[in-house]
Amino acid sequence: MKTQSLLDRQSIVVLALLAAAAILVPVLNGIMAPGSALHLSDHLVPLLGKYICFALLALSVDLIWGFCGILSLGHGAFFALGGYAMGMYLMRQIGPRGVYADPILPDFMVFLNWKELPWFWYGFDWFPFAALMVLLAPGALAFVFGWFAFRSRVTGVYFSIITQAMTFALMLAFFRNDMGFGGNNGLTDFKDVVGFPLQAGATRLVLFVLSVLALAGGYLLCRWVISSKFGKVLVAVRDAESRTRFLGYRVEHYKLAVFTLSAMLAGVAGALYVPQVGIINPSEFAPANSIEVVIWVAVGGRGTLAGAILGALVVNAGKTWFTGALPEFWLFALGGLFVFVTLFMPRGILGSAQDLWERSRQRFRTNRPAEALSPAAE
Amino acid sequence: MNAPVTPSLLYLDNVTVSFDGFRALNALSLAVDHAEMRAIIGPNGAGKTTMMDVITGKTRPNEGTALFEGTYDLTALDEAAIAELGIGRKFQTPTVFDMHSVEDNLLLALKEERGPIATLFSRRTREERERIDALLERVRLTAHRHRKAGELSHGQKQWLEIGMLLAQEPKLLLIDEPAAGMTDQETADTADLLRDIARTKAVIVVEHDMTFVRDLGVKVTCLHEGSVLAEGSLDAVSSNERVVEVYLGR
Amino acid sequence: MFCLRHLLRAVVLLVGFTATAVAGPYEDALPKFSAGSYSETDEAIGAVASSGHPMAQAVIEALQDGRLLAGNGQVFIRDPSGGLVNAATGQAFGAAPADLKPVRVNNRVRRAIEAALGGLTLLSPNAGTRMEAARAVFRSRDEAALPNLDKAVGQEGDAGVKQALQEARAAILLTKADASAEDRLSAVSTLRARGDQDALALLSNLSADSPPALVAAAQQAADAVRSRLEFWSAVQNVWYGISLGSVLLLAAIGLAITFGTMGVINMAHGEMVMLGAYTTFVVQELIRTYSPGLFGASLFIALPLAFLVAGAVGILIERSVIRFLYGRPLETLLATWGLSLILQQGVRTIFGPTNREVGTPAWMSGAWEIGALSLTYNRIVIVVFAFSVFAVLLLVLRYTSLGLFVRAVTQNRRMAGSMGIRTSRIDALAFGLGSGVAGIAGVALSQIDNVSPNLGQGYIIDSFMVVVFGGVGNLWGTLVGAMTLGVANKLLEPYAGAVLGKIVLLIAIILFIQRRPRGLFALKGRAVEA
């Protein structure tokens, strides 16, 4: 993989496609008359927006798994935390329009007979604070968790398993009513965001465009990180951790930095996801969700960034189709995908395409088969 | 006990490491001077790799002293800190970053700021390029600078790793079986390279290949069951009866 | 009239009754039943019960069943066949007086009846009945039962019943203000010896205006009982913990083999457990259809079948997927997760998404009482079973050639290979063994958990925690890990609640792994470093 320049050909293609999406979706939905063949129906806008958020989440997983070899099976937790931070803001925005019309307390707190707002809900009525928490809540959790884990050199599958335990523990915690996050119903019945009604088509289009911009920004950020010397160190850690250590790099600092950054990206994805789907509940913490993200990355191509985006879009589009047309077969298809990709396409769609391209080019140049590329080890 | 400051660059005294009752190192003592090259020989399980692990901070000894430059306590520092002090290590099997180009392998090894923030914002300088050019020249990999390290031959990987060690600008190099898997010519070249390096830096070479050790022509330490069995010139050591018995064979 | 009565009395004596011949309290009390007032009935019950008359029990039982008829000062018992017996004489009575009515009872009377019967059946020839009666008196603390109680204690032969009788007596005496101080003090010590929740309630509710010495003694005894109860509740929590621990052990032990030997993270391990549970279901369905008499043995039939089914699926998975992924643990993790989804959906398609009913054989129902504990048989069976599986597996690994090879491969794969051990075959067999054991676990878990396609999901994270906590490649570690987690979980529950306790434990394990990344019983040495 080439990590030399910030804007290589792949990046330009990715950014161009994202720009096209950001322009086409509003045009097709907002300007084309309903009923015209080119009209994009209203319910598809938040669906596409959801895919884009998933793509950003996949990107964050690829950053650590593809480039640093850290397989997190708990990234759904960071996504959900970002989502909850946004959800708390949206709850406060409801104000007295809730069922119980309490000016301060969200409905579920009135229902639980709470008298005042818990301290950790303070400030969430102010958007900049909520936006900050979208980054800080997942970032802080990742920092603390990573600090403990990386310092004591928990690696490989052990790390994967404890991240899974982490998200499982959080799921159990958020299911509890007395945690103050709405228990198993989660946060929902949102009305508007920074003054714009969430049900309005225009708001949804703006949210979609914002998601695309966030994805593009996230992509550029990851691109910048991995094309720096920092990124080279990450790859070095992935391929030969103890060598990197003996060269004098504090591997745990690098892992901690990239893990925290990745968690924040996941948090942003979650924050954009919540207003578009209209709900956040503890099932977002389910371990199965986090593993599913990993398979998006694997399908698209681990360690390629663009592949993560592609994988998230392809698998989720497939999921939408399957659950509509053949609901019983979705789990067969998803399970089969896990097996197929790991066995036959370890480099994913994009990685395999790259291999094919390079091989044919080398054959063309030297008329000699290229040495098989050894797949990246742990 | 000795005074904490010794004139030696590396000073090990009474170092003991045990795994589940098995003593990998048993009261090992060793001193290496500045710009000295030392060959370590000994049968399998003599504790050679464990000794390297202790020096580089990978293994903590159960007891004993390990001092660098007479002041730094190696038993209290981690790998990264020890590497920054100026101790470089080459592994038994060549370990380079397969997916990086040869050039990037050396870039990562260059003696520079190692922190995440420094590397995130670092930009390639002309000076770096010149240092890398010189290193490539020295380990004869100039022609391969853009190839992926994973595509190099075994011998080239060994040399790349030595190049990475040099890029660290260490004061002490620990080199584990550099001649393993090399052709005779490569072995001879490697001996030349090491002798050249040892003019300015201390080098510890662990090797089984007696011809190679003879080529180096340096003081030899023979380890056995975790402690020093004999020390001196190769001829003196190889005529030592105990050494013959446990290692060289009659 | 008088004459007749004496005559009848003599007849009664002749048939073997031991009552006194003079008109006693019994005879005096009987007419009160015909008064038609509840309070007189109540009084009559007390008097009859304490009379010691041989007919007393029959009378009160009849009253309870509405078979006691009264009229004109005379009282009759209607026996089940419809015949009438004169309550005063015990003689069958051919023609009943015309105006007989059943004696009415209300709740107060019913309570009096129960208390009285408790006192009366104390003298029953049946030990079980006496025991019941003693317990009833203990609960009612009816002073009227005291004379019978004294008598019963005196003649009781059965030690257990005697103790119950004494406890009942103590319960009465403790609160009986006019009992002697000595009796009341000895009542305190009897209750203290009984030492359960009821005794504690009696002791701590003793009114404060009782003699100070007694209050002090009761106080002391209550404290002793309280600490005894705390001890037993701790024992109970430990037992629940061991019970949970053996469930974890069953679920995790197969994983310890696959993870330990091959370093393979089998995320489909939980589904092997599920397959075992469904095998049990199928076996029971077939037995119900074709030979219901075998139902008691259904679990024994299911065990080998579950082992074979899960083991075969395991070997199939190993041969078709996992063997291509050795040395790539993260990929194995993903692929086996995919397999787990397929297996779940497969079972859901075949058996439906809802819970399936797996029956418990008769010999596994019931409970065993020990101290203040009640241990259900199915839990005991599972604990014993888990330890047996553990022991068998330990023996298999230690004394069979398969075990030897598996250990060799665990410790040094390459060396084992170069010694001529066909490592790939060992991998397949070890994987089959681990999966088969998971299947066996499924048979046991089908007894205490819902058999649904999601059965396995509930165990996978816990099993991994156990294996990782205990240390990879060491069955003892798995045992200690499972028991520690099980007991810790149950000890935390009373303080933190089930969910919070689990969260606390997960966090503790996460922190523990960071202190000892290789678990409690880690393999050490060079092989591990590679």
Q: pLDDT tens digit string along A88-103?
A: 999 999 888 888 888 8
Share of residues in chain B with pLDDT > 70 (%)? 96
Statement to judge: residues C432 and C488 lie in one domain: yes
How many other CB atoms are there within 10 angstroms of residue A328's CB atom?
12
ipTM confidence: 0.87
All residues of chain B having their beta carbon less than 8 Å from the beta carbon of residue A240 are 95-98
Answer whether residue C519 shows pLDDT above 50: yes
Answer whether residue A318 shows pLDDT above 60: yes
Q: How far is CA C477 from the centre of its chain?
A: 29
Share of residues in chain B with pLDDT > 90 (%)? 18
**Helix pair C298-320, C329-351: axis angle to 10 deg:** 130
pLDDT tens digits, residue range A112-167? 888 888 999 999 999 999 999 999 999 999 999 999 889 888 888 888 988 998 99
Average pLDDT for residues C19-27, to the nearest whole number? 61
DSSP single-letter state for residue A316: H
Domain contains C406: yes
Query: CB-based burial of residue A288 (10 Å sphere; 0-12 exposed, 13-18 middle, 19+ buried)?
Result: middle
Element (H, E) at B174: strand B172-176
Domain contains B89: yes
pLDDT: is A120 or C7 the higher one? A120
Q: What single string gives the DSSP state of each residue in A290-312? A: HHHHHHHHHHH-TT-SHHHHHHH
Query: Testing the interface with A: which of B82, B101, B120, B124 to mutate, by most A Cβ within 10 A?
Result: B120
Answer whether residue A288 shows pLDDT above 80: yes
Give pLDDT, residue A372. 42
Give pLDDT, residue A293. 95
| Cα dihedral A311→A317→A323→A324 (10° resolution) | -170
Give pLDDT, residue C4. 53
Report the candidate in C89, C86, C70 with the shortest Cα–Cα distance to residue C2. Answer: C89
Give pLDDT, residue A174. 93
Domain encompassing residue C48: 2-105
Instruction: List all residues 6 or more positions away from B183 whose beta carbon is below 8 Å from its beta carbon.
Output: B155
All residues of chain C having their beta carbon less than 8 Å from the beta carbon of residue A145 are 510
Q: How far is C528 from chain B (nearest CA, A)?
A: 12
Q: Is C333 an 8 Å CB contact of chain A?
A: yes
Average pLDDT for residues C328-356, to the nearest whole number? 90
Statement to judge: residues C101 and C115 lie in one domain: no
Cβ separation of B97 and A240 shorter than 8 Å?
Answer: yes
Average pLDDT for residues C339-355, to the nearest whole number? 91
Answer whether residue A62 shows pLDDT above 90: yes
Statement to judge: residues C240 and C344 lie in one domain: yes
Domain contains B2: no
**No. of H helices and E strands in chain C?**
22, 7
Cβ separation of A339 and C344 shorter than 8 Å?
Answer: no
How many other CB atoms are there within 10 angstroms of residue C335's CB atom?
28
Least confident range of A317-326, C86-95, C159-168: C86-95
Answer whether residue A291 shows pLDDT above 80: yes
Give pLDDT, residue C523. 54
Structure tokens at A17: 């496609």
Statement to judge: residues C256 and C383 lie in one domain: yes
Tell me the CA distances in angstroms from A17 to A12, A62, A216, A272, A312, one per residue in order.
Answer: 9, 19, 10, 20, 15
Query: Testing the interface with B: which of C523, C526, C528 to mutate, by most B Cβ within 10 A?
Result: C526
Cβ separation of C509 and A165 shorter than 8 Å?
Answer: yes
Instruction: List all residues 6 or more positions away from B71 whose beta carbon is below 8 Å from its beta carbon.
Output: B4, B5
Q: Is A222 an 8 Å CB contact of chain B?
A: no
pTM of the model: 0.81
Average pLDDT for residues C458-466, to the nearest whole number? 85
Question: Taking a contact as any Cβ pair under 8 Å apart, which residues of chain A between 63 and 82 contact chain C?
Answer: 71
Q: How far is A377 from chain B (nearest CA, A)?
A: 10
Rounded to whole angstroms, the Cα distance separating B61 from B13 reads 11
Query: Testing the interface with A: which of C266, C328, C330, C349 to mutate, by most A Cβ within 10 A?
Result: C330
Cβ separation of A287 and C461 shorter than 8 Å?
Answer: yes
Q: How far is A371 from chain B (nearest CA, A)?
A: 8
Q: Is A57 an 8 Å CB contact of chain C?
A: no
Question: Taking a contact as any Cβ pair under 8 Å apart, which residues of chain B between 9 and 68 contact chain C?
Answer: 19-20, 22
Confidence class for position C5, pLDDT limits 50, 70, 90: low
Statement to judge: residues C282 and C401 lie in one domain: yes
Report the candidate in C326, C320, C316, C321 with the shortest Cα–Cα distance to residue C414. Answer: C326
Q: How many CB pairs under 8 A join A and C?
A: 122
Q: How many CB pairs under 8 A join B and C?
A: 6
Least confident range of B82-86, C231-235, C391-395: C231-235
- The CATH number of the domain holding residue B29 is 3.40.50.300
Confidence class for position C15, pLDDT limits 50, 70, 90: very low
All residues of chain C having their beta carbon less than 8 Å from the beta carbon of residue B22 are 525
Confidence class for position C3, pLDDT limits 50, 70, 90: low
Structure tokens at B38: 């030392």
Give pLDDT, residue C136. 79
C82, C105, C128 — which closes off a domain?
C105
Considering only CB atoms, which residues of chain B are within 8 Å of chain A? Answer: 56, 58, 78-80, 83-84, 88-89, 91, 95-100, 104, 107-109, 114-116, 119-122, 150-151, 164, 168
Domain encompassing residue B173: 10-248
Q: What single string gives the DSSP state of each residue in C126-194? A: -HHHHHHHHHHHHHH--GGGHHHHHHHHHH---HHHHHHHHHHHHHHHHH-TTS-HHHHHHHHHHHHHH
Answer whether residue C469 shows pLDDT above 50: yes
Domain contains B5: no
- Identify the residue whose tokens are 């011998």: B155
Cβ separation of A342 and C338 shorter than 8 Å?
Answer: yes
Answer whether residue B39 shows pLDDT above 50: yes
Confidence class for position A177, pLDDT limits 50, 70, 90: confident
Statement to judge: residues C288 and C382 lie in one domain: yes
- Identify the residue whose tokens are 């089998």: C266
Give pLDDT, residue B21. 72
C63, C89, C105 — which closes off a domain?
C105
Q: Is A294 an 8 Å CB contact of chain C?
A: yes
pLDDT tens digits, residue range B192-211? 888 888 888 899 998 888 88
pLDDT mean across residues, chain C: 81
Chains that touch A (3 or more CB pairs under 8 A): B, C
Statement to judge: residues C344 and C381 lie in one domain: yes
Give pLDDT, residue C105. 82
pLDDT tens digits, residue range B103-161? 999 999 988 888 898 889 988 888 889 999 999 998 889 999 899 999 998 888 888 99
Chains that touch C (3 or more CB pairs under 8 A): A, B
Q: How far is A115 from chain C (nearest CA, A)?
A: 24
Name the residue of chain A whose CA is nearest to B91's CA: A243
Report the candidate in C12, C7, C120, C105 with the shortest Cα–Cα distance to residue C64. Answer: C105
Statement to judge: residues C263 and C309 lie in one domain: yes
Least confident range of A129-143, A187-201, C159-173, C344-358: C159-173
Number of domains in chain C: 3
Name the residue of chain A whose CA is nearest to B57's CA: A246
Q: How far is C522 from chain B (nearest CA, A)?
A: 11
Report the candidate in A20, A60, A4, A68 with the shortest Cα–Cα distance to residue A263. Answer: A60
Cβ separation of A225 and B109 shorter than 8 Å?
Answer: no
All residues of chain B having their beta carbon less than 8 Å from the beta carbon of residue A347 are none
Structure tokens at B82: 């020890």
C105, C134, C156 — which closes off a domain?
C105
Answer whether residue C279 shows pLDDT above 90: yes
C-alpha dihedral sign at C130, C135, C140, C142: positive
Of residues C344, C502, C517, nearest to A331 (C-beta): C344
Q: Is A168 an 8 Å CB contact of chain C?
A: yes
All residues of chain C having their beta carbon less than 8 Å from the beta carbon of residue B19 are 524-526
Rounded to whole angstroms, the Cα distance separating C80 from C385 reads 51
Number of domains in chain B: 1
Cβ separation of C342 and A337 shorter than 8 Å?
Answer: no
Domain contains C226: no
Give pLDDT, residue C152. 80
All residues of chain A having their beta carbon less than 8 Å from the beta carbon of residue C510 are 145, 148-149, 162, 165-166, 169
pLDDT tens digits, residue range C40-79? 888 888 788 777 677 777 788 888 888 888 877 778 888 7
Domain contains C219: no
Answer whether residue A369 shows pLDDT above 60: no
Statement to judge: residues C31 and C128 lie in one domain: no
Answer whether residue A306 shows pLDDT above 90: yes
Statement to judge: residues C259 and C382 lie in one domain: yes
Q: How far is C462 from chain A (nearest CA, A)?
A: 9
Cβ separation of C344 and A161 shorter than 8 Å?
Answer: no
Answer whether residue C530 shows pLDDT above 60: no
All residues of chain C having their beta carbon less than 8 Å from the beta carbon of residue A287 are 461
Of residues A230, A239, A246, nearest to B98 (C-beta): A239
Structure tokens at C34: 């015909």
Domain contains C223: no
Statement to judge: residues C243 and C391 lie in one domain: yes
pLDDT mean across residues, chain A: 89
Cβ separation of B116 and A230 shorter than 8 Å?
Answer: yes
Report the candidate in A375, A351, A222 with the shortest Cα–Cα distance to residue A299. Answer: A351
Query: Testing the interface with A: which of B49, B97, B151, B174 to mutate, by most A Cβ within 10 A?
Result: B97
Q: Is A230 an 8 Å CB contact of chain B?
A: yes
Domain contains C345: yes
Q: How far is B216 from chain A (nearest CA, A)?
A: 25
Instruction: List all residues 6 or more positions away from A265 whose beta carbon is below 8 Å from its beta carbon.
Output: A56, A57, A59, A60, A63, A218, A221, A222
- Which amino acid is located at C205 in the chain? N
Give pLDDT, residue A378. 36
pLDDT: is A238 or C363 the higher one? A238
